Structure 1
């Protein structure tokens, strides 16, 4: 028995090291996207309105008319694909962070109030959550985005219209569980104000589940923004978006595949890694809630 344990120990150690290394890959990839989104526009000069037609449909690695190099090729209007990917990363990160931030704040407040107050207020808010959750989120976003003039603020509002519901439901479930705990009862008996109980004894325990949910919602928001821009009802043409770039190349998939393929790969890598990170955080905090 002792020998078997000794033989298995190096293998188990190797597996733990390999698993630890692989678990850090999403952090590295997401960090690179954030770095590219923040620093890339400072290093690459790009004007989405400028259309050098003499450089249209250049393949990756071609030389442009001004002597530069189109490392990832150009689109049908001569615009550089690498620059569009870099500026699109900034757009996706900003819209994703803004939407998740707004949604999490609204969801936290409404969910905490509903779960802690109980009674008729919880019943009304819970029914509102259920009704809005049953409504297709992307359809509501399309209606809002299509009804007004395109802008970054409008996209954030359209995507936040239903994204906050998931945060509210998670916060409500945590608040329902915590309101019956001994320390909450003790604070209530001691006369601690209800607002202080929410801020000190309820909301801090929602941090783990909310962070895990925020990563998953971030991926959904980035994908939804790309979908709206692909349909032409998201961001204005002066703001670079991966969805717009992919849509611009759909007519040239056979002759200029790089226009749609390369931004699509960049979008897929971000969504996949954010999803993996969200699963990791969900599993981690899920185990934490089950532990005694």
Structure 2
């Protein structure tokens, strides 16, 4: 009698799911490491970006400096430590990105919600502003604004926010348009609830997910744009460490002292890629408002 053996194999998806779950955490861990370096790195590394040491210039990674310290990532053409520049550059990128996205988000969400809910003249004016600003490339407009005034961190934030708020306004306006005719909004309006209260309680909460997802992607674009402006010499002042300035200072030594431009370039690229992937994950999960998941008409109207 033949021996029959039944082999039960685990579905491939059961094995892949834990791996996919672990891989999905990698971008968040990378971004978290950058935030940790930006917060703690400058506290552990005492560095003066203005101070130069010509005796320690162009040292290879791992070399000893004249003071006996180890330049783990080498030095640049002015003898400044590359590890310190990367750590301080991370802090600059995070601060500029956070300030710009916060300012752009506040302006865009408020204008988009008002235009989408109240319509009328506010919506028409916002649409014309969209048409004017979108006619110019965002980076070109930022270059014009940054190049017209004295270099400063505040100017970079304002220049990058000049067009950064448009994306937030368009997303918020679309959600407000879809919610303004919902039953619970009509019920609150009939009960005499002021428009600003309806916006705050029944419209803006549904924009949180899409706005956070968009803010992540905008953060990556702002970091890249700030590095580009600093690379061109019209961004941050020389006293502020920026990855763009460090890369610009190392472009003359690409063939010999490659680490000056390559290492901050890798740090910038890794951060942009990690934030981009994290933004895609958030967009896939929260990128669309979910007006269907709402309180009942009675309970919403009562809260108004």
TM-score normalised by length of structure 2? 0.92
2:298 is matched with: none
CA–CA distance in 1 between the matches of 2:162 and 2:216? 18
CA–CA distance in 2 between the matches of 1:276 and 1:134? 28
Count of equivalent residues:
288
How far apart are residue 123 of structure 1 and its match?
A: 1.7
Q: What do you get for the CA RMSD once the two structures are aligned?
A: 1.6
CA–CA distance in 1 between the matches of 2:30 and 2:45? 20
2:134 is matched with: 133
Q: Which moved more, 1:130-139 or 1:212-221?
A: 130-139
Contact 1:73 / 1:258 at 8 angstroms: preserved in 2? yes
2:299 is matched with: none
CA–CA distance in 1 between the matches of 2:289 and 2:131? 27
Contact 1:73 / 1:82 at 8 angstroms: preserved in 2? yes
CA–CA distance in 2 between the matches of 1:284 and 1:25? 17
Match of 2:9 among 7, 10, 22: 7
Q: Which moved more, 1:117-126 or 1:197-206?
A: 117-126
Structure in which a larger fraction of residues adopt helix: 1
- Answering whether residue 267 of structure 2 is matched by residue 266 of structure 1, we say yes
Alpha-carbon deviations, 1:17-72, whole Å to 9, x = none?
Answer: 11110111111111110110010000001111111000000000001011000000
Contact 1:73 / 1:81 at 8 angstroms: preserved in 2? yes
2:193 is matched with: 192
How far apart are residue 12 of structure 1 and its match?
A: 1.6
CA–CA distance in 2 between the matches of 1:285 and 1:84? 36
- Answering whether residue 250 of structure 2 is matched by residue 241 of structure 1, we say no
CA–CA distance in 2 between the matches of 1:69 and 1:153? 35
Contact 1:242 / 1:264 at 8 angstroms: preserved in 2? yes
SS in 2 for 1:216: helix
1:148 is matched with: 149
Structure 2 matches for 1:248-259, cutoff 5 A?
Answer: 248-259=249-260
How far apart are residue 287 of structure 1 and its match?
A: 6.6
TM-score normalised by length of structure 1? 0.95
Contact 1:114 / 1:126 at 8 angstroms: preserved in 2? no
* Structure 1 segments unaligned to the other structure (5+ residues): none
How far apart are residue 133 of structure 1 and its match?
A: 2.0
Alpha-carbon deviations, 1:197-223, whole Å to 9, x = none?
Answer: 010001110000000000000000000
Contact 1:150 / 1:234 at 8 angstroms: preserved in 2? yes
Closer, same or farther: CA 291–26 of 1 in aligned 2, 3 Å:
farther
How far apart are residue 153 of structure 1 and its match?
A: 0.6
CA–CA distance in 2 between the matches of 1:198 and 1:121? 15
How far apart are residue 121 of structure 1 and its match?
A: 2.1
2:184 is matched with: 183
Contact 1:88 / 1:242 at 8 angstroms: preserved in 2? yes
Contact 2:210 / 2:289 at 8 angstroms: preserved in 1? no
1:117 is matched with: 118
Alpha-carbon deviations, 1:141-199, whole Å to 9, x = none?
Answer: 11111111111111101111110000000000000001011110110011101010010
CA–CA distance in 1 between the matches of 2:121 and 2:148? 35
CA–CA distance in 2 between the matches of 1:288 and 1:171? 9
Contact 2:220 / 2:276 at 8 angstroms: preserved in 1? yes
Structure 2 matches for 1:72-83, cutoff 5 A?
Answer: 72-83=73-84
Contact 2:168 / 2:214 at 8 angstroms: preserved in 1? yes
1:218 is matched with: 219
